Structure 1
Amino acid sequence: MADELIFYTNPMSRGQIVRWMLEEVGAPYETKILGYGTSMKDAAYLAINPMGKVPAIVHNGRVVTECAAICAYLADAFPSAGLAPATTDRADYYRWLFFAAGPVEQAITAKHFGIEPDADQQRMAGFGSLGAALDALEGAIAGKTYVAGERFSAADVYVGSQIDWGLQFGTIPSRPAFEAYAVGLRERAGYKAAKAIDNALIAEMQATPA
Structure 2
Amino acid sequence: MQEEIVFYTNPWSRGGIVHWMLEELGQPYRMVVIEYGPPMKSPEYLAINPMGKVPAIRHGNTVVTEAAAICAYLAETFPEAGLLPTPEGRGDYYRWLFFTAGPLEMALSLKAANFTLSAEQQMQFGCGSCETAVDTLAQAVAGRRYIAGDSFTAADIYVGSHIGWGMQFGTLDRRPEFEAYWNGLKDRPAHRRTEEAIAKAMPAEPTPSG
TM-score (norm 1): 0.94
Cα contact 2:56–2:64 (8 A) shared by 1: yes
- List 4+ stretches of structure 1 deviating above 2 A: 86-89
Per mean C-alpha deviation after superposition, the further-off stretch among 32-41 and 2-11 is 2-11
Q: What's the counterpart of residue 19 of structure 1?
A: 19
Shift of the 89–146 alpha-carbon distance from structure 1 to 2, 3 Å rule, reads: closer
Q: Please, which runs of 5 or more residues in structure 2 have no aligned partner?
A: 206-210
1:76 aligns with 2:76: yes
In 2, the alpha carbon distance for the partners of 1:19 and 1:130 equals: 28
Which whole-Å deviations, capped at 9, do the CAs of 1:133-185 have from their partners, x for residues lacking one?
A: 00100011000000001100000000001100000000011100001111111
Shift, 1:119, TM fit: 1.7
Shift, 1:132, TM fit: 0.3
Shift, 1:118, TM fit: 1.4
> Mapping of 1:2-151 within 5 angstroms?
4-87=4-87, 89-151=89-151
Q: What's the counterpart of residue 208 of structure 2?
A: none
Which whole-Å deviations, capped at 9, do the CAs of 1:59-98 have from their partners, x for residues lacking one?
A: 0121000000000001011111100013454100000000
The number of residues matched between the two structures is: 205
Shift, 1:2, TM fit: 8.6
Identity of aligned pairs, percent? 54
Shift, 1:123, TM fit: 2.2
One-letter identity of the residue aligned with 1:65: T
Cα contact 1:5–1:58 (8 A) shared by 2: yes
Write 1 or 2 for the structure with the bigger share of helix: 1
Shift, 1:10, TM fit: 0.2
Q: What's the counterpart of residue 156 of structure 1?
A: 156
In 2, the alpha carbon distance for the partners of 1:61 and 1:39 equals: 22
One-letter identity of the residue aligned with 2:148: A
In 2, the alpha carbon distance for the partners of 1:2 and 1:192 equals: 27
Cα contact 1:20–1:157 (8 A) shared by 2: yes
Q: What's the counterpart of residue 206 of structure 1?
A: 204
Cα contact 1:68–1:101 (8 A) shared by 2: yes
In 2, the alpha carbon distance for the partners of 1:179 and 1:89 equals: 23
Shift of the 143–13 alpha-carbon distance from structure 1 to 2, 3 Å rule, reads: same
Shift, 1:39, TM fit: 1.1
In 2, the alpha carbon distance for the partners of 1:3 and 1:93 equals: 27
Q: What SS is found at the alignment partner of 1:145?
A: coil
Q: Please, which runs of 5 or more residues in structure 1 have no aligned partner?
A: none
RMSD over aligned Cα atoms: 1.4
Cα contact 1:9–1:55 (8 A) shared by 2: yes
One-letter identity of the residue aligned with 1:206: A
In 2, the alpha carbon distance for the partners of 1:24 and 1:65 equals: 19
